[in-house]
Structure 1
Amino acid sequence: MNVGKPPTSRDPDAGAGEDDKSGVVRTYQAWKGSNIFLLQGRLIFGPDVRYLFLTIFLIVVPVTIFCVFVARKLMDDFPHDLGISIMVIVVAFTLFDLILLLLTSGRDPGMIPRNAHPPELEGYEVNTEVGPGQTPQLQLPRTKDVVVNGIVVKIKYCDTCRLYRPPRCSHCSICNNCVEKFDHHCPWVGQCIGLRNYRFFFMFVFSTTILCLYVHAFCWVYITKIMNGERISLWKAMTKTPASIALLIYTFISVWFVGGLTIFHSYLISTNQSTYENFRYRYDRNANPYNKGIIENFKEVFFTSIPPSKNNFRAKILKEPAIQSRRVSSGFVSPNIRKPVTASDIEMGRKPVWEGVEGESDDNGRRDNNADGLHKLSGSSDISPDLSRILPPGSIEGLGISHPRRSSWGRKSGSWEISSESVASAVGESKQVTDGCNGNLTGQTQQSQTNFKM
């Protein structure tokens, strides 16, 4: 099975200034996925990391309200040590929940590095349905069969990453990466859930469920204390603590969401499935090649070492070569533009070529022959063909020829340009008169010496 390898790294202790000069960058700077990196590649997030702050807000704000309006009041109603423990437990549990959230969101979920080139072409199919004179195209098979625990499993070829995905691997369209044991992309944590962070994701969801139940329970305890202390009805006790009512409603709704996820993923772990596999393959109807039994399945998730990342995002690699513009005396020129025209070229009769005027081909391979048509329409054999190719559109109005391109030619300052007066003095006026009676064409052309100013 062909799995991509990260590019060859350089010495990680070299200075940043030397990297820029030598064309060396960090791996995370050249990463082609949609991920967001922080702390120089030490933290990696998905492109929707902004939702992570919403998740933190939905956890911290209710806990803060609980500590201020409920737990602080309960500290006086319980014995001293027990009252303080209510506050300590909720704060410690919240910090533990946030750490699990960051471990889920800020680490490599199991991304497979891309191949620089497709796999080897040995033994692959050749497309023989080609026309005469065409080169046969080599075609990679879209799928391959591998055997997992005695069951044949098909793996697919990823055109983006240029590799055959390992079993249980899938390409995330949001992060634009192939992820090992891909479960799903969770927008609440802003990251893919895969082989290297699924354990922390389940623990985060489970701990959030416990936190919701804890806050919900002690809000009822506080309301009960008010009822018994003031000997009032439940409704009157609830009106005396609106913060508890808001927390009861909030935690009741939240526990259905995170609690439902906890139950669902407990079922997936017990059957050794991922969310992607459960919705796509329906192992309830087919044999699951990864199911090892409930105990072994839970041990695989929680009591096995997490495999190391296949990516060293802080490693230094060579920057990919890019096409750069050439610098000439008059400025920068794109690689697809030829040498600029100078006065000596015109005097020597060389044929200047300008982008979009001559030598330019469209998508169908047709050349733009507007300049050649201009020379033919002028009808004068005394005009140099080279000069007719460089005439700007505004200078040929006297010839009665319209040009489709109206943009200015040349630079307005610090360069040379041809005006209509200089062209008229250079080539004269070309007149064509059609004799309606005899059908004879007569033309008179006057020429004068041309002066070009650089």
Structure 2
Amino acid sequence: MQFSQPMFPLHPPPPPSSGGAAAGDAVAPPLVRTYRAWKGNNEFCLGGRVIFGPDVKSIFLTMFLIVAPVAVFSAFVARKLLDDFPHHWGYSILIILIVLTMFVLITLVLTSGRDPGIVPRNAQPPLMMDESDGSANINNEQTPRLHFPRSKEVIVNGVSVKIKYCDTCMLYRPPRCSHCSVCDNCVERFDHHCPWVGQCIGLRNYRFYYMFVFSATLLCLYIHGFCWVYIKKIMDSEEISIWKAMIKTPASIALILYSFISVWFVGGLTVFHTYLISKNQSTYENFRYRYDQQANPFDKGVAENFKEIFCSVIPPSKNKFRSKIPIPKEPSEASGRRAIESLSPVVRKTAGDLELGAPVYNDAEEEFESDYADEFANDDEHGKGSEIGDMPVDLSRMLYTEGGQRQVASSLRHSLWERDTKDSGEKTHFGT
């Protein structure tokens, strides 16, 4: 059986021009800020100038855990040490405390409220030619097959590094990039998603994250140390034992316990990330034992690794959240579902994949071709065509567009209706 020419154009027809518009004038589509059409799970503030993760509320808990002990220390310990040192050196205790606390809070906001290195999504999957399979002969034309390798290999400093294809972002991730399931974004040099700061840690905020945990460790040690100094002052002034002195200042005991527990957390992170920086690894790579079986192509030596983190220029964001873009058109789920349900089972799966924007792989294409061939074989065997047997549909040229899908569904329904009308007419003629 030979295929005839497609009964619908390969491209959707242009929309009819309005009578009042001059020839050649195009109606400008409505525009919207990029952050308002953002497909990730991020939260934006100040008109798209600040970007947070979906768990942004956790940053307020983190701030409370920092500010509350500092306030208690200032009220019950630092205030009573102001006059216990000569030349007013006691005031330096409170000044250093305030400066250190402000630094911790600033680095926390810089870590949580900036783009960690999000890779912009593609509007459609990349089309790659599968040279190994050649091309498919459809409509007596050589049509190349589409192939999406799940991974590729690139050379980084003489070492082969595998990069994977991201189905959500429809792109091949750069080296050291990974997709965060919480924020639903691909992040360059992805380290981890930190729930305490409510943001991914990546290429553009890792420096501030390390400075945050390091300064928080210093703050814990600072409060812990001066609480013991205050207890020692009570012991010397009243000549009592350490236990009686501790009873006289319950706030110091609470701060000592709190800072002791906290320093194991933030101090442990500081030590761990110091090790990672010296090896030029990320937490994600370390937990997956990425470089246990091969050399790390990013390791430049301890000094150069620290210089890369703290002295290099932070690359600008690849996303312009405040720029205006056309409003993205989403296909109607109801209309798409009705159109797919009206198709035969062979076509329904392929049209459904196209509606959802799913990439068509070689395996699915070969499976469809075999089913399509079997259906035509059954038509020849029984002597009559099936519902789609004699329909000239070139599915390899269906487009990832809403208009193309509606046109395919409309053409299929129109042909089925014509066929039913013709069959009913023939039966009526026989009856008379």
What is the one-letter code of the residue matched to 2:100?
F
TM-score, normalised by the number of residues in structure 2: 0.68
What is the one-letter code of the residue matched to 2:72?
I
1:52 pairs, out of 50, 56, 59, with: 59
What is the match of residue 430 of structure 2? Answer: none
Counting only pairs closer than 5 Å after superposition, residues 380-391 of structure 1 correspond to structure 2 as: none
Alpha-carbon offset, residue 320 of structure 1: 1.3
**Cα 1:320/1:238, change in 2 over 3 Å:** same
Are the counterparts in 2 of residues 109 and 197 from structure 1 also a CA contact under 8 Å? yes
Q: Distance in 2 between matches of 1:105 and 1:87?
A: 27
Q: Distance in 2 between matches of 1:323 and 1:278?
A: 41
What is the match of residue 29 of structure 1? Answer: 36
What is the match of residue 312 of structure 1? Answer: 320
Alpha-carbon offset, residue 322 of structure 1: 4.6
Q: Distance in 1 between matches of 2:225 and 2:252?
A: 10
Counting only pairs closer than 5 Å after superposition, residues 144-223 of structure 1 correspond to structure 2 as: 144-223=152-231
| 3-state secondary structure, aligned to 1:111 | coil
Are the counterparts in 2 of residues 125 and 139 from structure 1 also a CA contact under 8 Å? no
Q: Distance in 1 between matches of 2:67 and 2:221?
A: 15
2:77 pairs, out of 25, 46, 70, with: 70
Q: Distance in 1 between matches of 2:168 and 2:341?
A: 32
Are the counterparts in 2 of residues 127 and 138 from structure 1 also a CA contact under 8 Å? no
| 3-state secondary structure, aligned to 1:209 | helix
Q: Distance in 2 between matches of 1:166 and 1:149?
A: 15
Counting only pairs closer than 5 Å after superposition, residues 2-21 of structure 1 correspond to structure 2 as: none
| 3-state secondary structure, aligned to 2:146 | strand
Alpha-carbon offset, residue 156 of structure 1: 0.5
Q: Distance in 1 between matches of 2:293 and 2:319?
A: 37
What is the one-letter code of the residue matched to 1:68?
A
Alpha-carbon offset, residue 81 of structure 1: 2.5
What is the one-letter code of the residue matched to 1:92?
V
| 3-state secondary structure, aligned to 2:82 | helix
Are the counterparts in 1 of residues 58 and 195 from structure 2 also a CA contact under 8 Å? yes
Counting only pairs closer than 5 Å after superposition, residues 274-285 of structure 1 correspond to structure 2 as: 274-285=282-293
1:100 pairs, out of 103, 107, 110, with: 107
1:249 pairs, out of 248, 253, 257, with: 257
| 3-state secondary structure, aligned to 2:291 | coil
Q: Distance in 1 between matches of 2:35 and 2:168?
A: 18
| 3-state secondary structure, aligned to 1:313 | coil
What is the one-letter code of the residue matched to 2:325?
I
Q: Distance in 1 between matches of 2:336 and 2:270?
A: 59
Are the counterparts in 1 of residues 207 and 310 from structure 2 also a CA contact under 8 Å? yes
For residues 406-433 of structure 1, the C-alpha deviation after alignment (integer angstroms, 9 at most, x for no partner) is xxxxxxxxxxxxxxxxxxxxxxxxxxxx
Alpha-carbon offset, residue 109 of structure 1: 0.2
| 3-state secondary structure, aligned to 1:201 | helix
| 3-state secondary structure, aligned to 1:68 | helix
For residues 207-262 of structure 1, the C-alpha deviation after alignment (integer angstroms, 9 at most, x for no partner) is 00000000000000000000000001101000000000000000000000110100
| 3-state secondary structure, aligned to 1:138 | coil
What is the one-letter code of the residue matched to 1:85?
S
Are the counterparts in 1 of residues 194 and 200 from structure 2 also a CA contact under 8 Å? yes
Alpha-carbon offset, residue 117 of structure 1: 1.5
What is the match of residue 305 of structure 2? Answer: 297
Alpha-carbon offset, residue 119 of structure 1: 1.6
What is the one-letter code of the residue matched to 1:292?
K
What is the match of residue 149 of structure 2? Answer: 141
Are the counterparts in 2 of residues 272 and 297 from structure 1 also a CA contact under 8 Å? yes
1:239 pairs, out of 236, 241, 247, with: 247
Check if 1:273 corresponds to 2:273: no
Alpha-carbon offset, residue 132 of structure 1: 12
Q: Distance in 1 between matches of 2:69 and 2:132?
A: 60
| 3-state secondary structure, aligned to 1:62 | helix
What is the one-letter code of the residue matched to 1:34?
N
For residues 48-98 of structure 1, the C-alpha deviation after alignment (integer angstroms, 9 at most, x for no partner) is 111111110100000000000000000021225211110111011101100
What is the one-letter code of the residue matched to 1:298?
F
| 3-state secondary structure, aligned to 2:227 | helix
Alpha-carbon offset, residue 22 of structure 1: 5.5
Alpha-carbon offset, residue 120 of structure 1: 3.3
Check if 1:61 corresponds to 2:68: yes
**Cα 1:131/1:119, change in 2 over 3 Å:** closer
**Cα 1:172/1:130, change in 2 over 3 Å:** farther
**Cα 1:284/1:168, change in 2 over 3 Å:** same
Between stretches 152-161 and 277-286, larger displacement belongs to 277-286
Alpha-carbon offset, residue 130 of structure 1: 12
Higher relative contact order (CA 8 A, sep 6+): 2
Q: Distance in 2 between matches of 1:59 and 1:81?
A: 27
Q: Distance in 2 between matches of 1:257 and 1:336?
A: 51
RMSD of equivalent CA atoms: 3.0
Q: Distance in 1 between matches of 2:308 and 2:207?
A: 10
What is the match of residue 424 of structure 2? Answer: none
**Cα 1:215/1:25, change in 2 over 3 Å:** same
Check if 1:43 corresponds to 2:50: yes
**Cα 1:241/1:130, change in 2 over 3 Å:** farther
State the structure with more CA Rg: 1
Are the counterparts in 1 of residues 193 and 201 from structure 2 also a CA contact under 8 Å? yes
TM-score, normalised by the number of residues in structure 1: 0.65
| 3-state secondary structure, aligned to 1:37 | strand
Alpha-carbon offset, residue 283 of structure 1: 2.0
Alpha-carbon offset, residue 40 of structure 1: 0.6
Between stretches 39-48 and 73-82, larger displacement belongs to 73-82
Are the counterparts in 2 of residues 104 and 197 from structure 1 also a CA contact under 8 Å? yes
Are the counterparts in 1 of residues 130 and 146 from structure 2 also a CA contact under 8 Å? no
| 3-state secondary structure, aligned to 2:186 | strand
